[in-house]
Chain A
């Protein structure tokens, strides 16, 4: 049969965000994919010219709702590096506690969306039911469900009281228990494996060469995680990057599932080692120079480049988000996939288009 071109997105039931793929299929098998981006470009990077460095924290939080805390953390790290601000150790710990909560809720959201993509509605509901507990922790400790807005240049705005810490640990115990109940479904269930195993294979070499990051890279067996660089308080916590060797959608789902459990462990470690003292230092003056900071978002490596000229506005800010890095990998994994499996394969990189287009 002659090749047929099928438009996939920007409005598609499986996509929460607008990504357009021009898919060429031969006999219902994908042979070529062309991506088209730019539907939700908002020009947030340009706002550095209109908002001062402290106001930009609230702007970068809105680059991506799902990982707002980590965006603000990365931005603050870059500014603090330029201004030689030493963040108190307690603030470092609090930042990673909220960051790991964000990773947890992002991965649970994604696991639910994946279940929805292959038509397992009850599993989708279970994942989001568990996620709601994590959202409650965020709302109770920071004031908002999603955009926690706790980071400021020089530390954090909110505190965790000992009672809140106990409550968080108790809630995470429940989250872990409920997660382990559905673990068997994700790992062993026949229908889950039927829809995800062998779909969208990205070999170790391909993943590395295409510059994939985060769970997409780790799902192909490369143990690379920016948290290993020890930013924030990660240098004092014990963890190993989660990897799976197969490189298919099933592997990537397993990586994310195991990362939720890893995040629970990291929050526990963070709370048990939470130092006492100040959680914010006063910051005076304006930055000057260039800085790059990197962190591990739920989707992979996030990078901020900042150029400042000593005034209250930055001269330039550039954000490199993980989905941007994962799109070449996605284009490599799609050829050879059945058209019916394209939604699962596309979703397996956890595309966050709002991040990518900013």
Chain B
């Protein structure tokens, strides 16, 4: 037991090793992989994220212009972010807060016009007011 005594004494007179969470919260690291977010106005609904996602949590409908994601299936790997051609997907530094009921992120944007994708991307900013998180009670799988 004597070998442990110096460490014990040191711990008595040093700062606590833990934080008083949630009063004291540490800033997340700069490149933390947190909640998946999207700038819908830049999205071209190509569906790359849907195809690359290992957990199949994203569904993109090009014709309807919808992007939806099951946050409870997302594994925060960031593969979709790496592969997004327009870099409209990004990961916040914080995780999603815990929820008591299952929710679904359902975003409606403007479907891309077939002729010019660039024009469509700028036009979509006007409808960005629609993008809110629609909390459907767990009717998804």
Contacts and interface: CB of A to CB of B under 8 A. Distances in A.
Interface string A127-147: 001001000100111011001
A55 B54 contact: yes
B6 A181 contact: yes
Interface string A48-62: 000100111111001
Contacts of A184: 3
- The A interface, classified by DSSP as helix, strand, loop or mixed, is helix
B122 interface: no
B4 A149 contact: no
A188 interface: yes
Contact of A189 (B4, B29, B75, B77): B4
Contact of A144 (B33, B52, B54): B33
A59 B54 contact: yes
Interface in A201-235: none
Nearest to A148: B33
B52 A191 contact: no
B17 A129 contact: yes
Interface in B40-86: 52-55, 75-79, 82
B75 A58 contact: yes
B82 A188 contact: no
Given A55-B54, A58-B54, A126-B7, A140 B30 contact: yes
B8 interface: yes
Nearest to A47: B54
B8 A122 contact: yes
B31 interface: yes
Contacts of B6: 181
Contacts of A191: 1
B15 to A, nearest CB: 12
Contact of A122 (B4, B32, B53, B55): B4
Contacts of B33: 143-144, 149
Interface string A252-265: 00000000000000
Find the residue from B7, B17, B75 having the highest chain A CB count within 10 A. B7
A119 B76 CA distance: 36
Contacts of A143: 29, 31-33, 78, 91
Contacts of B31: 140-141, 143, 158
A181 B7 contact: yes
Given A58-B77, A122-B8, A149-B78, A190 B1 contact: yes
B101 to A, nearest CB: 25
A182 B76 contact: no
A141 B29 CA distance: 9
Given A55-B52, A143-B32, A149 B77 contact: yes
A157 interface: yes
Interface string B1-20: 10110111000000001000
A185 B79 contact: no
B137 to A, nearest CB: 27
A56 B52 CA distance: 11
Contacts of B32: 139, 143-144
Contact of B82 (A59, A141, A157, A185): A157
Contacts of B76: 144
Contacts of B77: 58, 147, 149
Nearest to B31: A143
Given A188-B3, A189-B4, A51 B29 contact: no
Q: Which 7 A-B pairs have the closest CB atoms?
A: A143-B33, A58-B54, A55-B54, A184-B3, A140-B29, A185-B3, A129-B17
6 contacts: A57-B54, A136-B29, A139-B32, A140-B30, A144-B32, A189-B4
Interface of A: 51, 54-59, 62, 122-123, 125-126, 129, 132, 136, 139-141, 143-144, 147, 149, 157-158, 181-182, 184-185, 188-191
Interface of B: 1, 3-4, 6-8, 17, 29-33, 52-55, 75-79, 82, 91
